[in-house]
Amino acid sequence: MPALLTRRALALGLLCGGTLAGCSGRAARQWAQAPPAIDRDASATEVAAGVWMLPGTGGEPDARNLGRVANAGFVQGPRGVLAVDAGTSLLHGQALLRAIVRHAGQPPQAVLITQTKPDVLFGAPALRAAGARVLMQRQAAVLMAARCSVCLRNLQRDVGAAAMAGTELFEADVLFDEAPPLPDIGRPLRVLYPGPASGPGDVALLDEASGVLFAGGLVEGGRIPNLHDADLPGWLQALEGLQRLAAGGRLRALVPGHGPFQPDAAAAIGRTAGYLQALQARVAALVDEGVPLSALPERAALPAYAGWDGYPQLHRRNAGLLYLRLEQQQLMQPAQPGAAAGR
Kindly report the number of other CB atoms within 10 A of residue 317's CB atom. 21
pLDDT per residue as tens, the chain (343 positions): 334 334 444 443 443 443 323 333 343 333 334 445 677 789 999 999 999 999 999 999 999 999 999 999 999 999 999 999 999 999 999 999 999 999 999 999 999 999 999 999 999 999 999 999 999 999 999 999 999 999 999 999 999 999 999 999 999 999 999 989 999 999 999 999 999 999 999 999 999 999 999 999 999 999 999 999 999 999 999 999 999 999 999 999 999 999 999 999 999 999 999 999 999 999 999 999 999 999 999 999 999 999 999 999 999 999 999 999 998 887 777 655 554 443 3
Measured CA to CA, the distance from residue 123 to residue 95 in angstroms comes to 9
Q: CA-CA-CA-CA torsion for 39, 107, 214, 115, nearest 10 degrees?
A: 70
Beta strands 80-84 and 204-207, pairing class: unpaired
Measured CA to CA, the distance from residue 10 to residue 4 in angstroms comes to 10
Element (H, E) at 35: none
> So what's the pLDDT on residue 336?
56
Per residue, what are the HEC states of 45-84?
EEEECCEEEECCCCCCCCCCCCCCCCCEEEEEECCEEEEE
Distance of CA 25 to the CA centre of its chain: 24
Q: What pTM does this model have?
A: 0.87
> So what's the pLDDT on residue 332?
76
Question: What backbone phi and psi angles, to 5 degrees, belong to 34?
Answer: -145, 80
> So what's the pLDDT on residue 11?
43
> So what's the pLDDT on residue 328?
87
> So what's the pLDDT on residue 41?
84
What the chain holds in terms of domains, given with CATH numbers, is 34-270 (3.60.15.10)
Task: Encode 28-49: b = buried (16+ Cβ within 10 Å), e = exposed.
Answer: eebbeeeebeeeeebebeebbe
Per residue, what are the HEC states of 163-191?
CCCCCCCCCCCEEECCCCCCCCCCCCEEE
- The dihedral region occupied by 290, where left means phi > 0, alpha psi between -120 and 50, and beta the remainder, is left
Residues 6+ apart with CB under 8 A from 317: 14, 15, 226, 227, 228
